[in-house]
Amino acid sequence: AASHPDARPVSPADEIRRIAPLLDALSDQMHRVSIDSFQPETQRYALKRGVGYLNDIQGFPDPALYPDIAEADCRLVVMHSAQRDGIATRTGHLRPEDALDEIVRFFEARVSALRRSGVAADRLILDPGMGFFLSPAPETSLHVLSNLQKLKSALGLPLLVSVSRKSFLGATVGLPVKDLGPASLAAELHAIGNGADYVRTHAPGDLRSA
């Protein structure tokens, strides 16, 4: 299911129905598979299938899931969102000057909760969130993007950044989503230069070549 503000909700049953045949086809490469869902039923299914990465745009807020997570060995992409609940919306307004402190506070609390539940630190990858997950104002995402090294130093864990085709890039360069390839690549390279360990992209070939 998509997580942009206009996305329609998808039930856990539908998510599982959609991903099951893909996981079947990739059964011999499961350590490289990443499943992105904030629904515990889907997450538990993915854990049982042995995926290599589990990504939650809410940052794994449900302690009831933690025993299942602790028993698995996959990496966890823990994402920060100013909304805290569900998909991105156009109502969050995290100001640039408040963003870094807010992100650090969120991750300190969430990482502590996961660690207390038996999740090893070396399984955690942190995603500060971008675009509407922070604020409709592009300045907030740009500020965070330029200060990734500060976040990394404060948190001591690897960072994942997802800026590809984000609306804040369109607002910055004045182009529609379909024309954001060069801006996305520039932002991804900027993120890497500022400390990002992982980049989620729509154009892996272009990023690899760059």
pLDDT band at 201 (very low <50, low <70, confident <90, very high): very high
Q: How far is CA 30 from the centre of its chain?
A: 19
Residue 68 has pLDDT above 60, yes or no: yes
Which tens digit of pLDDT belongs to each residue from 152-180?
999 999 999 999 999 999 999 999 999 99
C-alpha triplet 60, 63, 69: angle, nearest 5°:
65
pLDDT in the model for residue 88: 55
Cite the beta strand spans of 31-155 per DSSP E. 34-36, 53-56, 75-79, 124-127
Kindly report, residue by residue over 12-21, the tens digit of the pLDDT. Answer: 999 999 999 9
CA distance 163 to 174: 16
Q: What is the pLDDT of residues 114-158, one digit of tens each?
A: 999 999 999 999 999 999 999 999 999 999 999 999 999 999 999
Would you state the structure tokens that stand for residue 181, as one six-digit string? 């390839």
| Count of C-beta atoms within a 10 Å radius of residue 188 | 23
- % of the chain exceeding 90 in pLDDT: 89
Q: Tell me the fold of 12-209.
A: TIM Barrel (3.20.20)
Share of the chain above pLDDT 70, in %: 92
Report the amino acid identity of residue 139.
E
In this predicted structure, the answer to whether residue 90 has a pLDDT above a threshold of 70 is: no
Q: Is the pTM of this model over 0.85?
A: yes
At residue 103, φ and ψ (nearest 5 deg) are: -65, -45
pLDDT of residue 83: 81
